[in-house]
Protein backbone atom coordinates (compact mmCIF):
# COMPACT_ATOMS: atom_id res chain seq x y z
CA UNK A 1 0.00 0.00 0.00
CA UNK A 2 1.14 3.49 -0.75
CA UNK A 3 -0.31 6.94 -0.23
CA UNK A 4 -1.54 8.80 -3.26
CA UNK A 5 -3.42 12.03 -3.80
CA UNK A 6 -6.92 12.09 -5.13
CA UNK A 7 -8.04 14.86 -7.46
CA UNK A 8 -9.37 16.81 -4.45
CA UNK A 9 -5.97 16.63 -2.78
CA UNK A 10 -7.06 14.25 -0.02
CA UNK A 11 -4.70 11.37 0.64
CA UNK A 12 -6.15 8.00 -0.21
CA UNK A 13 -4.87 4.50 0.34
CA UNK A 14 -4.08 2.83 -2.97
CA UNK A 15 -4.49 -0.92 -2.94
CA UNK A 16 -3.48 -3.15 -5.82
CA UNK A 17 -4.19 -6.73 -6.86
CA UNK A 18 -4.24 -9.46 -4.21
CA UNK A 19 -3.72 -6.99 -1.35
CA UNK A 20 -6.77 -5.01 -2.51
CA UNK A 21 -8.88 -8.18 -2.64
CA UNK A 22 -7.68 -9.37 0.78
CA UNK A 23 -8.41 -6.07 2.55
CA UNK A 24 -11.79 -5.68 0.81
CA UNK A 25 -12.88 -9.17 1.90
CA UNK A 26 -11.52 -8.77 5.46
CA UNK A 27 -13.40 -5.52 6.01
CA UNK A 28 -16.54 -6.16 3.91
CA UNK A 29 -15.41 -3.30 1.70
CA UNK A 30 -14.79 -0.74 4.46
CA UNK A 31 -11.27 -0.74 3.05
CA UNK A 32 -11.08 -1.04 -0.72
CA UNK A 33 -14.65 -0.27 -1.81
CA UNK A 34 -13.69 3.27 -2.78
CA UNK A 35 -10.49 3.42 -4.82
CA UNK A 36 -9.23 6.77 -6.06
CA UNK A 37 -12.77 8.16 -5.92
CA UNK A 38 -14.45 5.24 -7.70
CA UNK A 39 -16.40 2.25 -6.34
CA UNK A 40 -14.92 -1.22 -6.63
CA UNK A 41 -16.69 -4.54 -7.11
CA UNK A 42 -14.93 -7.84 -6.50
CA UNK A 43 -15.47 -10.21 -9.42
CA UNK A 44 -14.58 -13.87 -9.01
CA UNK A 45 -14.24 -15.78 -12.26
CA UNK A 46 -13.23 -19.35 -12.99
CA UNK A 47 -9.76 -19.52 -14.49
CA UNK A 48 -10.11 -20.73 -18.08
CA UNK A 49 -6.86 -22.72 -17.86
CA UNK A 50 -6.66 -23.61 -14.15
CA UNK A 51 -10.35 -24.02 -13.35
CA UNK A 52 -9.58 -22.23 -10.06
CA UNK A 53 -11.44 -19.19 -8.72
CA UNK A 54 -9.74 -15.86 -9.48
CA UNK A 55 -10.87 -12.64 -7.80
CA UNK A 56 -10.30 -9.21 -9.31
CA UNK A 57 -11.07 -5.72 -7.92
CA UNK A 58 -12.67 -3.71 -10.73
CA UNK A 59 -14.12 -0.19 -10.95
CA UNK A 60 -17.85 -0.39 -11.63
CA UNK A 61 -20.80 1.75 -12.61
CA UNK A 62 -24.22 0.80 -11.22
CA UNK A 63 -26.93 0.72 -13.89
CA UNK A 64 -30.32 -0.36 -12.56
CA UNK A 65 -29.83 -3.67 -10.76
CA UNK A 66 -26.69 -4.44 -12.80
CA UNK A 67 -23.04 -3.47 -12.58
CA UNK A 68 -21.01 -2.28 -15.57
CA UNK A 69 -17.26 -2.92 -15.76
CA UNK A 70 -14.75 -2.15 -18.49
CA UNK A 71 -12.16 -4.62 -19.80
CA UNK A 72 -9.72 -1.75 -20.30
CA UNK A 73 -6.52 -2.94 -18.64
CA UNK A 74 -5.25 0.63 -18.93
CA UNK A 75 -5.37 0.48 -22.72
CA UNK A 76 -3.26 -2.65 -23.07
CA UNK A 77 -3.37 -4.29 -26.51
CA UNK A 78 -4.65 -7.49 -24.84
CA UNK A 79 -7.83 -8.18 -22.91
CA UNK A 80 -7.46 -8.64 -19.14
CA UNK A 81 -7.41 -12.22 -17.83
CA UNK A 82 -10.74 -11.78 -16.05
CA UNK A 83 -12.44 -10.91 -19.34
CA UNK A 84 -11.03 -13.98 -21.09
CA UNK A 85 -12.26 -16.04 -18.13
CA UNK A 86 -15.83 -14.76 -18.45
CA UNK A 87 -15.84 -15.39 -22.19
CA UNK A 88 -15.14 -19.02 -21.29
CA UNK A 89 -17.58 -19.11 -18.34
CA UNK A 90 -19.89 -16.12 -17.73
CA UNK A 91 -20.98 -17.31 -14.26
CA UNK A 92 -19.30 -15.13 -11.64
CA UNK A 93 -19.38 -14.43 -7.92
CA UNK A 94 -19.66 -10.77 -6.94
CA UNK A 95 -19.08 -8.72 -3.83
CA UNK A 96 -20.15 -5.12 -3.31
CA UNK A 97 -19.11 -4.02 0.18
CA UNK A 98 -20.44 -6.82 2.44
CA UNK A 99 -23.02 -8.07 -0.08
CA UNK A 100 -22.00 -11.31 -1.81
CA UNK A 101 -24.04 -12.79 -4.65
CA UNK A 102 -23.92 -14.75 -7.90
CA UNK A 103 -23.99 -13.06 -11.27
CA UNK A 104 -23.82 -13.63 -15.00
CA UNK A 105 -21.51 -11.56 -17.19
CA UNK A 106 -22.23 -10.49 -20.74
CA UNK A 107 -20.49 -8.20 -23.20
CA UNK A 108 -22.64 -5.25 -24.24
CA UNK A 109 -23.10 -4.63 -27.97
CA UNK A 110 -24.23 -1.51 -29.87
CA UNK A 111 -26.18 0.60 -29.16
CA UNK A 112 -26.20 -0.49 -25.48
CA UNK A 113 -22.38 -0.49 -25.40
CA UNK A 114 -22.09 3.20 -26.28
CA UNK A 115 -24.75 4.24 -23.76
CA UNK A 116 -23.01 2.28 -20.99
CA UNK A 117 -19.61 3.67 -22.02
CA UNK A 118 -21.01 7.20 -21.67
CA UNK A 119 -22.27 6.37 -18.16
CA UNK A 120 -18.99 4.75 -17.11
CA UNK A 121 -16.76 7.66 -18.16
CA UNK A 122 -18.75 9.96 -15.88
CA UNK A 123 -17.20 8.08 -12.96
CA UNK A 124 -13.82 7.22 -14.53
CA UNK A 125 -12.98 9.57 -17.44
CA UNK A 126 -9.67 7.77 -18.03
CA UNK A 127 -11.51 5.09 -20.03
CA UNK A 128 -11.37 7.43 -23.04
CA UNK A 129 -7.60 7.73 -22.55
CA UNK A 130 -7.28 3.94 -22.28
CA UNK A 131 -9.26 3.50 -25.52
CA UNK A 132 -6.90 5.94 -27.28
CA UNK A 133 -3.93 3.74 -26.30
CA UNK A 134 -5.15 0.59 -28.03
CA UNK A 135 -6.54 -0.54 -31.36
CA UNK A 136 -8.88 -3.10 -29.76
CA UNK A 137 -12.36 -1.97 -28.83
CA UNK A 138 -12.48 -2.10 -25.03
CA UNK A 139 -15.29 -4.45 -24.03
CA UNK A 140 -18.07 -3.11 -21.83
CA UNK A 141 -19.27 -5.89 -19.53
CA UNK A 142 -22.62 -6.05 -17.76
CA UNK A 143 -22.81 -8.10 -14.58
CA UNK A 144 -26.40 -9.14 -13.94
CA UNK A 145 -27.18 -10.49 -10.46
CA UNK A 146 -28.80 -13.93 -10.42
CA UNK A 147 -32.20 -13.63 -8.79
Read off the pLDDT of each residue in 27-53 and give the average, rounded to a whole number. 95
Where is average pLDDT lowest: 15-29, 39-53, 70-84? 15-29
Residue 13 confidence (pLDDT): 53
Task: Please give the model's pTM, rounded to 2 decimal places.
Answer: 0.89
Provide the β-strand partners of residue 103.
Answer: 92, 145
Task: Give 86-94's long-range contacts (Cβ < 8 A, gap of 24+).
Answer: 86/45, 86/141, 87/48, 88/46, 88/48, 89/45, 89/46, 89/48, 91/46, 92/43, 92/44, 92/45, 92/143, 93/43, 93/44, 93/53, 94/41, 94/42, 94/43, 94/44, 94/67, 94/143, 94/145
CA distance 48 to 55: 13
Domain ranges of the chain: 2-145
**Torsion angle of alpha carbons 78, 79, 80, 86, nearest 10°?**
-150
pLDDT in tens, 95-129: 999 999 999 999 999 999 999 999 999 999 999 99
Read off the pLDDT of each residue in 28-41 and give the average, rounded to a whole number. 94
Architecture of domain 2-145: Roll (2.30)
Residue 16 confidence (pLDDT): 82
Amino acid sequence: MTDASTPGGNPEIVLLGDEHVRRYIETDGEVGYMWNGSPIILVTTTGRKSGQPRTFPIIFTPVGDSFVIMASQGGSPKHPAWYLNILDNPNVKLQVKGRKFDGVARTAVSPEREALWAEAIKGWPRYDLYQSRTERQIPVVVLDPVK
